């Protein structure tokens, strides 16, 4: 008995020793650079410009008859008047009638060009409960208020402000830089980004990298991170919507079958929610944890350094929160349900809609098969009635010069911020460029806290004047860094 206890103690000591040594060997992956302090931004002027753009009701609707295209034309004219050096120095054209494509020719034609992106359209906004009306472009309490302040006119005007500053200084990039601003990103980008990507492809253009919106500088959102974290999206999840439907002959509720169509459908839904797709710490999720692990407290650092030992515990913790759960698996969300017409009539049909955000490594086909296998009931018909499905994007490299340049730029402008790769759970226009780009990254350089997450597509969308000024600084420095005579 004593020998057995001694053996257990020795094993535990060995495990603890190995874990401790591995933790001690875990070193920081944060790039050490000197902060950049020589970029002067007049925050009052740039804030006014962004506020002006928020007053244009460039709302995109799936039904084109509802879209006020005159607002897009008016915004185009405003941009031309506000950024004269951009329009006189760069080549520009409209694509798909309302999207904008600018070309800033580089001095070194042998260098692959880069593409910086944003979109000028926004989602609808009901003025109810807003502190300032959604299309007022109000500047109050240190913030710029309005639909598009975060998603995504700040990116568009921030880039244009940076180019305006640099062109007035006589700056010319070594490599060609494209700027693409779509007009229908909020409704899939079929007439904007798709056509721009097609145009570039027909010209034989291969991009070194693409930078679009997606993730941001998070404050208090990443568990265990002692500082703000700039998450640079290296992939985005796929999208799948399936309809589950059950049909019967109906009848009077006084003589019901064991399960009505609603009951059968409810069983199917319960199975789906009870048997989620598998979770894993891999891909973008794994790379994010590897980047942040060395910066955490000793306990958390030990966990990150020894996933061989603590992986089940960490997975369990991540799955307890919606953001953590969405990071480690393909998510299942039943979003709509219909059935029944009267309290004493058996429902002849019932249907529900389930939405899946597909993690890299899985596909539309594999998720659909999981749904069929899990429900395992021929009475439940499974269809994709609207054809809404996209596979996850390829995962971009974190070892590339492009990622290192983004990392460097973040650290130069936001020196107290940690940098890590991340996974975008929504969709962006950048996915349309995957066949002409070596790598695609998704990051907008503004700060968001937990309470700000509901502002995206929600009430009281806003960005602070200070943060917007830092965005412009970031884009100025990014363009400077892009100018070096190497890849990229």
Residues 31-55 have a mean pLDDT of 96
Domain that holds residue 372: 238-390
Residues 160-176 have a mean pLDDT of 96
Of 151, 152, 184, 185, which residue is the catalytic one? 185
94 assigned to some structural domain = yes
- Region of poorest pLDDT, from 189-198, 236-245, 477-486: 477-486
Domain co-membership, 374 together with 406: no
pLDDT, tens digit, 9 for 90 and up, residues 90-110? 999 999 999 999 999 999 989
| The Cα angle at residue 427 between residues 423 and 433, in degrees rounded to 5 | 95
Of 121, 186, 295, 452, which residue is the catalytic one? 121
pLDDT for residue 15: 84
Domain co-membership, 437 together with 368: no
Domain co-membership, 270 together with 400: no
**Single pTM value for the model:** 0.94
Domain co-membership, 310 together with 380: yes
Domain co-membership, 440 together with 373: no
pLDDT for residue 484: 64
Domain co-membership, 328 together with 457: no
Beta bridge partners of 324: none
pLDDT for residue 486: 45
Per-residue b or e along 380-404, where b marks 16 or more CB atoms closer than 10 Å to that residue's CB? beeeeeeeebebbbebbbbebbbbb
Q: Give, for 144, the enclosing helix (H) or strand (E).
A: strand 143-145
190 assigned to some structural domain = yes
| β-pairing verdict for 238-247 and 99-104 | unpaired
Domain co-membership, 177 together with 272: no
Q: Write the CB contacts of 287 (distance below 8 Å, at least 6 apart in sequence).
A: 234, 398, 420, 421
| The Cα angle at residue 459 between residues 70 and 219, in degrees rounded to 5 | 115
Domain co-membership, 293 together with 417: no
> How many residues comprise the chain?
488
Domain co-membership, 59 together with 192: yes
Q: Please confirm, yes or no, whether 151 is among the known catalytic residues.
A: no
153 vs 161: CA distance, rounded Å: 12
**pLDDT over 70, % of the chain:** 99
pLDDT, tens digit, 9 for 90 and up, residues 367-418? 999 999 999 999 999 999 888 899 999 999 999 999 999 999 999 999 999 9
304 vs 402: CA distance, rounded Å: 26
Domain co-membership, 250 together with 386: yes
Last residue of a domain, which of 369, 390, 411?
A: 390
Q: How many CB atoms lie within 10 A of CB 315?
A: 18
439 assigned to some structural domain = yes
* Average pLDDT, rounded, for the chain: 95
Residue pair 431/242 in contact by the 8 Å Cβ criterion: no
27 assigned to some structural domain = no
2 assigned to some structural domain = no
For residue 358 the two structure tokens come to 């597909």
Q: Please confirm, yes or no, whether 461 is among the known catalytic residues.
A: no
Residues 285-289 have a mean pLDDT of 93
Last residue of a domain, which of 363, 390, 417?
A: 390
Domain co-membership, 178 together with 77: yes
Residue 283's nearest CA partner among 134, 392, 442, 156 is: 392
pLDDT, tens digit, 9 for 90 and up, residues 325-356? 999 999 999 999 999 999 999 999 999 999 99
83 assigned to some structural domain = yes
459 vs 129: CA distance, rounded Å: 7
Residue 282's nearest CA partner among 329, 231, 238, 221 is: 329
481 vs 485: CA distance, rounded Å: 10
Residue 337's nearest CA partner among 270, 251, 266, 250 is: 266
Domain count, the chain: 2
Backbone phi and psi for residue 91, each to the nearest 5 degrees, phi listed first = -80, 145
Q: Write the CB contacts of 81 (distance below 8 Å, at least 6 apart in sequence).
A: none
Residue pair 143/128 in contact by the 8 Å Cβ criterion: no
Last residue of a domain, which of 390, 417, 441?
A: 390
358 vs 354: CA distance, rounded Å: 13
**Cα Rg for the chain, rounded, in angstroms?**
25
Start-to-end CA distance of the chain, whole Å, equals 65
CATH of the domain at 415: 3.40.630.10
Domain co-membership, 245 together with 223: no
Residue 474's nearest CA partner among 115, 165, 85 is: 165
310 assigned to some structural domain = yes
Does the pLDDT value for residue 290 go beyond 90?
A: yes
CATH of the domain at 348: 3.30.70.360
Does the pLDDT value for residue 242 go beyond 80?
A: yes
30 assigned to some structural domain = no
Q: Give, for 285, the enclosing helix (H) or strand (E).
A: helix 283-292
Cα 430 to chain center, whole Å? 10
pLDDT, tens digit, 9 for 90 and up, residues 215-228? 999 999 998 899 99
């Amino acid at each position: 008995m004593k020998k057995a206890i001694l053996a257990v103690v020795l094993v535990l000591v060995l495990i603890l020793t190995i874990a401790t040594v591995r933790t001690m060997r875990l070193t920081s992956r944060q790039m050490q650079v000197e902060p950049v302090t020589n970029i002067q931004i007049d925050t009052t002027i740039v804030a006014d410009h962004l506020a002006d753009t928020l007053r244009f009701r460039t709302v995109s609707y799936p039904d084109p008859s509802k879209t006020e295209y005159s607002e897009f034309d008016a915004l185009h004219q405003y941009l031309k008047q506000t950024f004269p050096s951009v329009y006189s120095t760069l080549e520009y054209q409209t694509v798909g009638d309302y999207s904008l494509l600018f070309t800033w020719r580089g001095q070194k034609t042998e260098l692959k060009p880069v593409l910086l992106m944003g979109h000028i359209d926004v989602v609808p906004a009901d003025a109810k409960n807003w502190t300032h009306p959604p299309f007022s472009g109000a500047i109050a309490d240190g913030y710029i208020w309005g639909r598009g302040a975060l998603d995504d006119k700040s990116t568009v005007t921030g880039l244009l402000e940076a180019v305006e500053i640099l062109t007035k200084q006589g700056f010319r990039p070594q490599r060609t830089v494209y700027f693409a601003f779509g007009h229908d990103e909020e409704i899939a980008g079929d007439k904007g980004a798709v056509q721009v990507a097609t145009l570039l492809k027909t010209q034989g253009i291969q991009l070194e990298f693409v930078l679009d919106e997606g993730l941001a500088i998070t404050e208090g959102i990443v568990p265990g991170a002692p500082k703000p974290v700039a998450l640079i999206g290296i992939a985005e999840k796929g999208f799948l919507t399936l309809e589950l439907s059950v049909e019967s002959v109906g009848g009077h509720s006084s003589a019901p079958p064991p399960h009505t169509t609603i009951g059968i459908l409810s069983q199917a839904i319960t199975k789906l929610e009870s048997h989620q797709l598998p979770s894993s710490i891999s891909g973008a999720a794994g790379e994010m944890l590897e980047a942040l692990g060395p910066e955490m407290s000793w306990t958390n650092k030990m966990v990150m350094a020894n996933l061989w030992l603590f992986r089940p515990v960490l997975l369990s913790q991540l799955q307890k929160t919606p953001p953590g759960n969405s990071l480690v698996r393909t998510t299942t969300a039943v979003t709509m349900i219909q059935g029944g017409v009267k309290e004493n009539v058996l429902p002849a049909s019932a249907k529900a809609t389930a939405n899946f955000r597909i993690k890299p490594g899985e596909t539309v086909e594999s998720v659909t098969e999981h749904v069929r296998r899990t429900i395992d009931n021929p009475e439940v018909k499974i269809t994709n009635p609207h054809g809404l499905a996209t596979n996850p994007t390829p995962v971009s490299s974190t070892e590339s010069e492009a990622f290192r340049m983004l990392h460097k730029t973040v650290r130069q402008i936001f020196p107290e911020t940690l940098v890590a790769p991340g996974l975008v759970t929504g969709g962006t226009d950048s996915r349309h460029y995957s066949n002409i780009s070596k790598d695609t990254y998704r990051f907008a350089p503004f700060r968001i806290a937990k309470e700000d997450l509901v502002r995206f597509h929600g009430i009281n969308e806003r960005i602070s004047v200070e943060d917007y000024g830092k965005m412009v600084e970031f884009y100025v420095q990014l363009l400077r860094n892009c100018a070096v005579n190497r890849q990229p």
